[in-house]
Structure 1
Amino acid sequence: MNADRMAAAYFASLATLSRNTPDGWYAERGTSRAATSGSAIAALNGAYSVALDPDPASLDTMAVAVRARDVPWSITVRGAASYAVAGLAARHGRTVRADTTVLACAAADVAFRDPEAVIRRVGAAESGTYTAILAEAFEAPVAVFGSMMAGGVLDHAAFSGYLAIESGRPVGTALGMRAGDVIGVFNVGVVPSHRRRGLGRALTERILADAFAGGADAAYLHTSAMGRPLYASMGFRHVETRTVFTAG
């Protein structure tokens, strides 16, 4: 899979989300972007380079702009960060460095298992429930997610929200973010009491099945080391590593 294509889809979706969530904000300068998502998650607010070779001047301009928004934020570049980027991040107080792994697959490569789990598509009318289950799944206060999923986000054509249901209760979440013919898989989480039952895979499969049926031909996601074996078993392969700088 083409890393540039997956990156372009991600940054396009980030722009769409930031422009449509109630407290979101978005800006561009050269090959750099700045966005806030309405959440208090630093990785979802920040200055980003869309190019493999970041332009320090435009990235610095975007860092100044997002810093003024007074939210937890980050600086993200594709690939390994240069000394110049690390120095720029340090000047903005972003001294903690971490990697984000990006996996991708073509539609034809996905290994579906047709799980029996009940996965239900949800719209904006259920954004409160969605956010509450998302917070429970990620073991974080609801306030951390702020207004990210509020407003009309879940009714927007670019987004598809899902809840996993067991015994009549929502127990998991997932979000598809589509840009062109590429679908991004996000917010896959299951509440602690219902983990290890295949729900994370079922949620991911539902996003992919719906998107591919609608004409998408590729997918990507960001994963932790713990989640990588699951997604590899579905047909996802590593395409890129990004470097993220947050506050110390």
Structure 2
Amino acid sequence: MQTAERAAQLGNIIRRQPIPDDLLGDSAPFRQYVAVDGVDIVGRVRSLNAVGATWCSSMYVEPSHRRRGIGQALMSRMLHDDRARGSRYSALAATHAGALLYPRMGYERIGTLLIFASRSRKLS
């Protein structure tokens, strides 16, 4: 993603402030990729620089556009650019659904994250 207009559109979708203009260029510490259908953003993924490696985050494809290769295309482009920028490897945390895609993209499972919440779901 290179334009302020697209950054504003994505910010609106994810209900966050748009990425500032000074973080849209090639020297930014992260890159945001989007898949577009017409004028609508239907998928997204972010790559963050992590000292010789990259961290993949915020991968999402709209339910109406899943199972069409959009996630794979986003990941392929991101990983290609990561390698071109000198990243030696990429890491990520996956949901159950994402765990089906990532091995096809060259990732391997290295562990399992367990998440706990208090039984009452509120702290006393």
TM-score range, shorter chain: 0.7 to 0.9
Which digits, 9 at most, give the CA deviation of each residue in 1:98-147, with x for residues without a partner? Answer: xxxxxxxxxxxxxxxxxxxxxxx3355532212234x3xxxxxx2xxx33
> 1:172–1:190: 8 Å Cα contact kept in structure 2?
yes
The corresponding residue for 1:224 is 95
Decide which of 117, 124, 127 is 2:7's aligned counterpart.
127
> 2:55–2:90: 8 Å Cα contact kept in structure 1?
yes
Greater share of residues in helix: 1
Secondary structure at 2:91 match in 1: strand
Asked if 1:233 is matched to 2:113, the reply is: no
Which digits, 9 at most, give the CA deviation of each residue in 1:14-62, with x for residues without a partner? Answer: xxxxxxxxxxxxxxxxxxxxxxxxxxxxxxxxxxxxxxxxxxxxxxxxx
Equivalent residue letter for 1:242: L
Which digits, 9 at most, give the CA deviation of each residue in 1:174-216, with x for residues without a partner? Answer: 1111111111111111122212111011111111100101111
Alpha-carbon distance in structure 2 between the residues aligned to 1:129 and 1:238 = 33
Alpha-carbon distance in structure 2 between the residues aligned to 1:186 and 1:153 = 17
Greater share of residues in strand: 1
Secondary structure at 1:208 match in 2: helix
> 1:183–1:208: 8 Å Cα contact kept in structure 2?
no
The corresponding residue for 2:32 is 161
Stretches of structure 1 lacking an aligned partner (at least 5 in a row): 1-120, 136-141
> 1:122–1:163: 8 Å Cα contact kept in structure 2?
no
Per the alignment, do residues 123 and 160 of structure 1 end up closer, same or farther by CA in structure 2, a change over 3 Å counting? farther
Alpha-carbon distance in structure 1 between the residues aligned to 2:3 and 2:52 = 22
Alpha-carbon distance in structure 2 between the residues aligned to 1:237 and 1:178 = 20
> 1:162–1:174: 8 Å Cα contact kept in structure 2?
yes
Q: How does 1:22-101 map to 2 (within 5 A)?
A: none
> 2:75–2:105: 8 Å Cα contact kept in structure 1?
no
Alpha-carbon distance in structure 2 between the residues aligned to 1:202 and 1:225 = 19
Secondary structure at 1:170 match in 2: strand
Alpha-carbon distance in structure 1 between the residues aligned to 2:5 and 2:40 = 17
> 1:164–1:171: 8 Å Cα contact kept in structure 2?
yes
State the TM-score, normalizing by the size of structure 2: 0.77
Identity %: 29
* RMSD (Å) for aligned C-alpha atoms: 2.3
Decide which of 184, 189, 195 is 2:66's aligned counterpart.
195
Aligned length: 117
Stretches of structure 2 lacking an aligned partner (at least 5 in a row): none
